[in-house]
Amino acid sequence: MVGNSRATIPGEYFDRTSNQMLVQPEPQYLYAGFFLGALALSLSPDGMASPGRPLLASTGADYTAANADRLMMAQAIPSQLMAVKADFAAQSGATLRINRPAYENTTYTDVSRMIQDGASISTTPIKIQATQNNITLYKFGGPYDQINTRVAPFSIEAFDANMGVHSQPSIVASQLVRDFHKWIDAVHVAILDKGSVVVYPEGMTADNDATAVGSFPFTLEQLNRAEQVADSANLPTLADGFRLFVATPVQLKQLKDDPQYARSAEYFPEYNILFPNYVKSVGKTHIFKSNTLTIKNNSSTVPIHYGHYVCPGVLMGGMGRKPRVAASTDDNFGETVKVVWIADLAFKIANSDFVLSVRSSA
């Protein structure tokens, strides 16, 4: 005799979804936190309604916040790294030009500057040189439709918004904020990859020199050499006299495997109060870890890791209208709400000499 079961009376059994949430591991977007913190910006999920329409009614539990799943390795890089913070909403024009002095090196001997008795000093003036950089404001948006290569909205169906386990607007809000932060971080990683000086491990002069995994690991000597390059170029330091090195997890592991590192590295507990997972300091360099730096395969398919040795004043940033969530007026009589984020932002490298591209192989 067969007893009653899911097989005999399936209509009596059904699956349900819990309103609890599992963790989806996410990195901390280090450079996004720096940029947003320096300009005091954030993206609010408000605005998920078409103009003139009431906010979309929704039931269900709140969804996870966009930053709840991130591995918080370090707080934002100090705002000292931002050379220019432009408020385009407070001034006219979409491009801001910034002057930079240029100094000519001449002859600096006592004989060359000695003025003999009765000698006439030239009356022909010397030209003073200067250079100029600029930063331009643009309108950006997201999320991005990868298939059709364009900015496109997320949508919320009014009917489904009252049927789900989790609040549909909160799901979309989490996706929007995550997309915004990840985009800002990726833009700044690409900007800092353009450092004018590349520092390789000893014996390596180009990315393609690494023909096997482990052939050119990151070492303390390489980090010390980056510091020496910055010192020789008179590059500025933070207020505490240090600069920053941002490493990939692989670079940091290789550095810890260097026996010289254990003898040279120092740990500053008071610094960790501001930067919870700051790694350590060597010489005059604070070391941080980021999971979003560039890793490229070279011609031998060996991953090359791009770390950043960063000096204050390396970046410029600006804002026009504040970042916001906007809804389309094409909403099918209020039944289908389509939303994107829009931001008027400007970012650029202020001086490519102020960041060294520190590369090594996996």
SS3 assignment for 12-66: HCCCCCCCCCCCCCEECCHHHHHHHHHCCCCCCCCCCCCCCCCCCCCCCECCCCC
Peptide bond into 143 cis (omega under 30): yes
pLDDT tens-place string over residues 223-261 = 999 999 999 999 999 888 999 999 999 999 999 999 888
User: Tokens in use for 282?
Assistant: 């060597």
Share of the chain above pLDDT 90, in %: 52
- Which residues, other chains included, contact 249 with Cβ-Cβ below 8 Å and sequence gap of 6+? 289, 291
Span 348-362, pLDDT tens digits? 999 999 999 999 999
Q: Taking all residues of the chain, what is their mean pLDDT, rounded to a whole number?
A: 84
Per residue in 279-297, pLDDT tens?
889 999 999 889 999 999 9
pLDDT number for residue 208: 97
Contact (CB, 8 A) for 353 and 196:
yes
pLDDT at 136 over 90: yes
For 244, list phi and psi in degrees, rounded to 5.
-115, 140
Terminal CA-CA length for the chain: 64
- Helices 30-38 and 168-192 sit at what angle, rounded to 10 degrees? 90
Predicted pLDDT of residue 283: 92
What pLDDT, on a 0 to 100 scale, did the predictor assign at position 160?
73
Of the two residues 61 and 222, the one the predictor is more confident about is: 222
Give the whole-angstrom CA distance, residue 264 versus residue 270: 19
pTM score: 0.83
The contacts of residue 43 (CB under 8 Å, 6+ apart) are 176, 177, 180, 181, 323, 324, 325, 341, 343
Strands 281-282 and 285-289: antiparallel
Tens digit of each residue's pLDDT (9 = 90 or more) over 294-324: 999 999 999 999 999 999 999 999 999 999 9
Of residues 288 and 144, which shows the higher confidence score?
A: 144
pLDDT higher than 70, residue 187: yes
How far is residue 255's CA from residue 350's CA, in Å, rounded to a whole number?
A: 29
DSSP 333: T
What number of residues does the chain have?
Answer: 362
